[in-house]
Amino acid sequence: MRLPVPGPRDLLAVIEKGADQVDQLLGAVPRVLALLDQAEVLLVRASAAVDAVEAVTREAETVVVHTDAVVDRAEALVVRVDRVVDGAATVADRADAMVARTVVLLDALEPPLTTLQPTLQTLADTTHPEEVAALVQLIDHLPDLTERIERDVLPVMTTLGTVAPDLHDLLDVSRELNEMLGKLPGLGRIKRRVEEEQAAE
């Protein structure tokens, strides 16, 4: 909107028209001055508004930078959460599979365990700590016992098949010798005394 401020041409035209127009022109001067004052006030207010806008813009830029950082951290956190969720899902799947296997195993073991429950209860009631310690000690000695049996006993047992006839022959000879000694004079009493002592022992 164009302000009603007279220019040089208007001034000349007014002078030509007469003194009335000059008076009107002079009366417009205060209005022009008032308009200039208002324009200055508006300029000051506009400058203050621009400064405020610049301050808000700077704060907005700071907020945007901070928001970008928060968004980046949130994205990283979401990635970590996704990994944790994936890991938890894997663990849950493995746990489900283990639970299923455990249920099958328990179903299979329930009948024999139910049957053995009285025996196990009796064993638990009658077993003493000393017996458990002795059993543990025996288990500790099992490797050495196994080695000795394999080295010393098993070879002898493999030869028992050939030794048995010789033992029978030796027993027969011993009986015959015993009978012969019993027929000798005086040895019968000694033999009976030895047999009595052996029976008493």
**Alpha carbon of 155 to those of 24, 149, 159: distances in Å?**
148, 9, 7
Q: How many CB atoms lie within 10 A of CB 14?
A: 19
Residue among 9, 5, 2 nearest 36 (CA): 5
The answer to whether the predicted template modeling score (pTM) of the entire model surpasses 0.75 is: no
pLDDT at 25 over 70: no
pLDDT for the residue 1:
45
Burial track 161-180 (b if 16+ CB lie within 10 A, e otherwise): eeeeeeeeeeeeeeeeeeee
Token couple for 62: 């700071």
| pLDDT tens readout for residues 154-176 | 787 777 666 666 677 777 777 77
Phi and psi at 3, nearest 5°, equal -75, 145
In this prediction, what percent of the chain has a pLDDT beyond 90?
Answer: 0
Half-sphere exposure of 98 (CA within 13 A, CB side): 6
Residue whose structure tokens are 């029976």: 199
Contacts for 187 with CB less than 8 Å, ≥ 6 apart: 181
